[in-house]
A and B are shown apart, each in its own frame.
Chain A
Amino acid sequence: MTRGPSWFNVTSIVLGFSFLYLPIVLLVIYSFNESRLVTVWGGFSTKWYVELLQNDQLLDAAWVTLRVAFVSASVATVLGTMAALVLVRSGRFMGRSMFSGMIFAPLVMPEVILGLSLLLLFVAMDQARGFWTVIIAHTTFAMCYVAVVVQSRLVGFDKSVEEAAEDLGCPPIKTFFLITLPIILPGVIAGWMLAFTLSLDDLVIASFTTGPGATTLPMKIYSQVRLGVTPEINAVCTILVVLVSIGVIAASIATKRQQVQRERDERAAFGADG
């Protein structure tokens, strides 16, 4: 379209984005509120952040959450990347539709069902619940998200480079690590980050599958929120929001830069040819 954006389009974008961002902005602002009453402004203060640093329970929960997120995101990335390769590359095999069904279903499955079913599995297996059961649960649903993200990267992939390597006698495993992986890497990294934040976020599945000694940060936040809104919780939330935003923005800038670099390299290569 050659015309500039119409007033209608601009208005809907502005209103839409204010709706998406205003609640988060207000939450961040009120985390710096001096007053304990969350909705009454009592002047600027960072005391809730200081208080946070002395709240051992909250810090413990944060540490558990980070470890769970790191391990489950890493395992989910490996499994999800494998699943994506299967979906895009393996052609037809027995049980393929069931396989893709199991990849897509957890994306929309209500969390209460996933949590309950995994808990009952762990009970049936007589498995003590705690740190590792939460990791297995998070890995299972996060790998499906990773698979979808990596799959979209694999679809627009020029296979001829891989075939050239194999024709030249490169074994498949080596081809994967030398050629395929570097090309799909942005998708794999995005998948890992998505898996990490999904795990960081999750309240429902963790509540079902956790055991004593493995209380995650969302569970801790949830139990305090039920008692009411406090500036301390606002402060925790602000820290999380800021960290995640920095991560996402940094990743997207890095991807963009890499893309620009690759285009430049390609142009240089073709220039040398001609």
Chain B
Amino acid sequence: MSKAASKSKRGLGGWGLIAVPYFWLLIFFLAPFLIVFKISLSQVAVAIPPYFPTFDLAEGWQAFREGLSELSLENYVWLTEDALYWKSYVSSVYIAAVSTLITLLIGYPIAYGMARSPEAWRPTLLMLVILPFWTSFLIRVYAWIGILKNEGLLNQFLMMLGLIDEPLVILNTNAAVYIGIVYSYLPFLVLPLYASLEKLDGSLLEAAEDLGCPPWKAFWKITVPLSLPGVIAGCFLVFIPAVGEFVIPDLLGGSETLMIGKTLWVEFFNNRDWPVSSAVAVILLLILVIPIVLFQNQQQKMAEKNQ
């Protein structure tokens, strides 16, 4: 059945099928962003809700227009003036990028080893990668506190071996944040990477070997380029959420750790400044829009290829 034929056949049920999830996402996903944008242009007020103007349609058109003129870019100006914000953005992107790189360096050998393992092992190995993904994020981050503390298990172990005399200070530093991000997001990178490595045609490598290509060169010239879609998908899946991460920098990081997710949280819950936290969210979204669109295009292309 061609696409045109299926289109002409779409009846009331077909349109309903599209409309229900579509409207749900419009109302609960897209509309909220417009509201965030609007509030980022508002001002703080000691009121409920704590911003001004509020746009009550009952007050009529005149009040609406007056409210419109009250909107301003003040909060954005504030974000550029206070070094805390742009430092948070820069350091979030930096921490996320470094963590993504480390995750790739650790994840590639794992995915590669899985794809090269005997076929009978693969379903079990795959499930073992997926399982931590199902167990709570919060729990997995929490588990590291007990390990990385000054009197924690890692320091106890290293002192027992006699490798160190003084406990290493890891918890509440950026190092702990890197460990937390790499650990939490490792399955996100391994899964797409494994999928593309498993599809790789082994005969290509054999051909290269037969023609006298050394293994490392064959790996570099054949395996790496062919696994690139998996690498890209995996890196996006790590990088994008890591930029806005809140739980990891909050629980494992220290006062030196500046990440925008945490800044937004503090601004919202501790300072009760909704307009500024909205402005922080808008800028964060602008930073992430390019990687998110790239990620979507890639996903769509892969989905179409599979069809």
Contacts and interface: CB of A to CB of B under 8 A. Distances in A.
Given A17-B128, A108-B295, A159 B1 contact: yes
Given A113-B281, A229-B146, A90 B202 contact: no
A38 interface: yes
Contacts of B26: 102
A100 B300 contact: yes
Interface stretch (A42-50, A51-59, A114-122, A265-273): A114-122
A16 B288 contact: no
Q: Interface majority SS on B: helix, strand, loop or mixed?
A: helix
Contacts, number: 269
Given A110-B284, A237-B139, A248 B130 contact: yes
Contacts of B1: 159, 163
Contact of A91 (B3, B20, B274, B306): B3
B189 to A, nearest CB: 11
B110 A106 contact: no
Interface string B230-258: 00000011001101111100010000000
A100 B145 CA distance: 39
A85 B28 contact: no
Contacts of A128: none
B137 to A, nearest CB: 5
Contacts of B130: 248
Interface string A77-95: 0011011011111111101
Interface string B270-306: 0000100110010011001001100110011001001
A163 B1 CA distance: 9
Contacts of B220: none
A108 B281 contact: no
Contact of B151 (A39, A85, A203, A237): A39
B134 A248 contact: yes
B160 interface: no
Contacts of A252: 123, 127
A6 B26 CA distance: 51
A37 B135 CA distance: 25
Interface in B7-24: 7, 10-11, 13-14, 17-18, 20-22, 24
Contacts of B288: 108-110
Contact of B35 (A10, A113, A124, A172): A124
B303 A87 contact: yes
A241 B13 CA distance: 41
A222 to B, nearest CB: 6
B100 to A, nearest CB: 13
B86 interface: no
A183 interface: no
Q: Size class of A's contact patch?
A: 35 or more
A123 B85 CA distance: 26
A80 B136 CA distance: 22
Main secondary structure of the interface of A (DSSP, over half): helix
B91 interface: no
B29 A204 contact: no
Contacts of A24: 132, 135, 139-140, 143
Contact of B299 (A30, A104, A113): A104
A118 B112 CA distance: 40
A103 interface: yes
A38 B152 CA distance: 9
A71 interface: no
Interface in A187-241: 193-194, 197, 200-201, 203-204, 207-208, 218, 221-222, 225-226, 229, 233-234, 237, 240-241
Contacts of A85: 17
Contact of A120 (B29, B142, B261, B278): B278
A9 B112 contact: yes
B3 A140 contact: no
A240 B244 contact: no
Contacts of A82: 17, 20-21
Nearest to B124: A252
Interface in B110-152: 110, 112-114, 116-118, 123, 125, 127-132, 134-140, 142-147, 149, 151-152
Interface string A1-15: 100111011111100
19 contacts: A5-B118, A13-B113, A16-B186, A16-B190, A20-B132, A26-B143, A30-B146, A79-B20, A80-B21, A82-B17, A91-B6, A108-B295, A110-B246, A121-B28, A140-B24, A173-B13, A225-B142, A247-B134, A256-B123
Given A19-B186, A113-B285, 15 more contacts: A11-B113, A19-B183, A20-B128, A39-B151, A83-B25, A95-B22, A105-B292, A105-B296, A106-B29, A118-B28, A123-B49, A201-B138, A225-B138, A225-B142, A244-B135
Interface of A: 1, 4-6, 8-13, 16-17, 19-21, 23-24, 26-27, 30, 38-39, 79-80, 82-83, 85-93, 95, 99-113, 116-118, 120-121, 123-124, 136-137, 139-140, 143, 147, 151, 155-156, 159, 163, 172-173, 193-194, 197, 200-201, 203-204, 207-208, 218, 221-222, 225-226, 229, 233-234, 237, 240-241, 244-245, 247-249, 252, 256
